[in-house]
Structure 1
């Protein structure tokens, strides 16, 4: 039986079957929710733009998982009349189900697009992607929606589908082409073909689309990558060296905080910074300690000293003409994460989002209850002691949105293959979500 590790693996394998679309005028359209991570992997592999095509299944009242039809954007509707008759669903019950699902559909369109226009499908290939097909009702409506939106050709692509449904779809007129990595004759459920088939949340869909939008926005600007500039940040009687990179049009800057003096030259921080810059975020890599101060290990754990340096850097950024209106985020590692949260807990803090990687938020315990900036805590699942410290710290953060993410297979320094990249991706998603949206530069 064909099996996939998860939806990303499924999308990667599916992209191999769609290689002929590379370089064409095509748009990859994920079906929320589970189809969006698959579609994102396809779009990334083929270097194509990503959007959603929102549809809702109309479930039989007594068996909600059994689709008696589906609805889509722009009033598109598909009904399985034979099934409706067999199930004895009255017109009144059908209308009630449709009204309920239409309300959910409209809400999701608003939530996923966040006021952004849908990508234009006129005279393009619409590649509709889901994580699998059982009956095909939802897929049929998605194809019809794409047609109505002007697509010149519709390709329906899934990692796995029931063989009977594939035959019906290929015999129909909704899709010009149906692509499946596997189409078994004996088919029980889509989830049976995945090792990890955890539900995809609306928030996860929104984050994936935010990242895709940011990437497309950068490409549209056709900017020349800015190599950045070496800067000197005044911090009281000290002067701290840093490196500031501002992508053209960037409206946010992430300040990196590390307890030691290695932040500016750290390959790890530089790798993470590149991921953030690719998402349209400015970065300031700076040494919170001078070379002389770094020799005294006590300074590495002086959270108030490090937090004061972060606050000084924030003040310096807001005083520059090119970053005066930028929203500020903090990316902290190790004791630097404690410093970031201490600074974020100050009454006059201007930080709009915080990410901690393998951090020690417990060192800022006295101020965690005052942090108002949305905070993401990223920890390796093999870093047992720090995982527990982060859980306890999160419980104290009652005044802000917070989330704890465990990176599978990672230890404290994220030295294992792929773990730092995964952590950087989580950080990028969080900052894109909280810094690149319209809103006030500082929490109220």
Structure 2
């Protein structure tokens, strides 16, 4: 025997594959036995893990629920061992048909006389042992129990968590680089007039050649002062969007709970701020987006549902859009992204209900590990990237070929 168990085989195999870490690979496990082996490889290479199901009878791939996201990538196909080569061949074909630029077949052990026949489907073959008398994978392991569904689920969830954390770290680092540059969006302070004669504190930041403008709706009076709000605004600004941070409530009224949840008042003030923004030089014809949080999410819904609002996109982060009421939710035309934290069961449920009442294009995305405040930098970074993607897509779509807004 050559290996204690599949994890031992995976660790040994990972040692031979460390040079591929720079290739940003995807590890493709041949189910079932290949999953524990591939999980060790994926962890060592800090690579995403996918599963390929192949039929034992026909050796053709089953149709997965979602296609593999490997277009243009290096794919490392991993199995627990190879005797005939049929399943490995099928898995390599799946990778190739899914658009992989390079396919590498990696095995702890394989029959010596079968390996040369795989170079027509794999660009490279990496194998620890290739004995001439190899006839059974079970002979290579001291322990080779069946792999239950629960173990596969656990391994895939662990891989997904690593990928999520890695992606979030990249976004945090990206924003740190942007916000740390000289001239990063600080914006200019403004007093935004509203129809009820209140002047609302705001901060307006405009990049060169903006693709759109995003107004931030917060009902708590901390819109311009909150570190989270500035973080989101700076990130959107760095991706070509003008941003208006806005306090919908002045400090005295922000402590009155009746005013905090007066959605009509907040919504009207947001609509007034939008009209003011469109009157600023160079911003009048830009597609408009709303970013709402907490009660500000309801204010964004209220304002976007107004006749002639002409809002091109909305993102509602850990918000209470339900407070705007069913009629307003149903009247919104702007494509809307709702983002909620997985650990905030109450708000998540309210967002699900609000989504059902909306007739516009909409999507609800749940951020793992996040609570209602999104205090964890990784969770907030993921949410901000989701918001940026949504605004970039929707605001760009709302512009004509020459940069003019489509009306």
TM-score, L = length of structure 1: 0.57
Superposition RMSD on alpha carbons, in Å?
5.0
Radius of gyration: which is bigger? 2
Q: 1:179 to 1:404 in 2, by over 3 A?
A: farther
Superposed displacement of residue 339, structure 1: 0.3
CA distance in 2, matches of 1:245, 1:434: 20
Question: Residue 342 of structure 2 contacts residue 367 of structure 2 at CA under 8 Å; is this kept in 1?
Answer: yes
Q: 1:371 aligns with which of 332, 348, 360?
A: 332
CA distance in 2, matches of 1:411, 1:172: 49
Q: 1:66 aligns with which of 55, 60, 63?
A: 60
Q: 2:74 aligns with which of 92, 114, 128?
A: 128
Classify the secondary structure of the residue corresponding to 1:321: coil
Q: Unaligned stretches of 5+ in structure 2?
A: 1-5, 9-13, 28-41, 80-87, 128-136, 158-166
CA distance in 2, matches of 1:319, 1:163: 70
- Aligned residue in 2 for 1:343: 303
Superposed displacement of residue 251, structure 1: 0.7
Superposed displacement of residue 406, structure 1: 2.4
CA distance in 2, matches of 1:331, 1:428: 10
- Aligned residue in 2 for 1:316: 276
Superposed displacement of residue 314, structure 1: 1.6
- Aligned residue in 1 for 2:30: none
Question: Residue 119 of structure 2 contacts residue 125 of structure 2 at CA under 8 Å; is this kept in 1?
Answer: no
Q: 1:142 to 1:361 in 2, by over 3 A?
A: closer
Aligned residues: 322
CA distance in 1, matches of 2:349, 2:264: 23
Classify the secondary structure of the residue corresponding to 1:136: helix
Question: Residue 107 of structure 2 contacts residue 126 of structure 2 at CA under 8 Å; is this kept in 1?
Answer: no
Superposed displacement of residue 364, structure 1: 0.7
Question: Residue 289 of structure 2 contacts residue 313 of structure 2 at CA under 8 Å; is this kept in 1?
Answer: yes
Q: 1:301 to 1:324 in 2, by over 3 A?
A: same
CA distance in 1, matches of 2:229, 2:296: 12
Superposed displacement of residue 344, structure 1: 0.9
- Aligned residue in 1 for 2:85: none
Classify the secondary structure of the residue corresponding to 2:215: strand
Superposed displacement of residue 247, structure 1: 3.0
Q: 2:188 aligns with which of 219, 229, 250?
A: 229
Q: 1:380 to 1:226 in 2, by over 3 A?
A: closer
Question: Residue 373 of structure 1 contacts residue 443 of structure 1 at CA under 8 Å; is this kept in 2?
Answer: no
Q: Deviation per CA, 1:153-206: give whole Å up to 9, x if none.
A: x6x579x878669x96997488776789xxx999999x98664759xxxxxxxx
CA distance in 1, matches of 2:118, 2:224: 60
Q: Unaligned stretches of 5+ in structure 1?
A: 4-12, 32-40, 47-56, 69-107, 113-117, 119-125, 147-153, 199-207
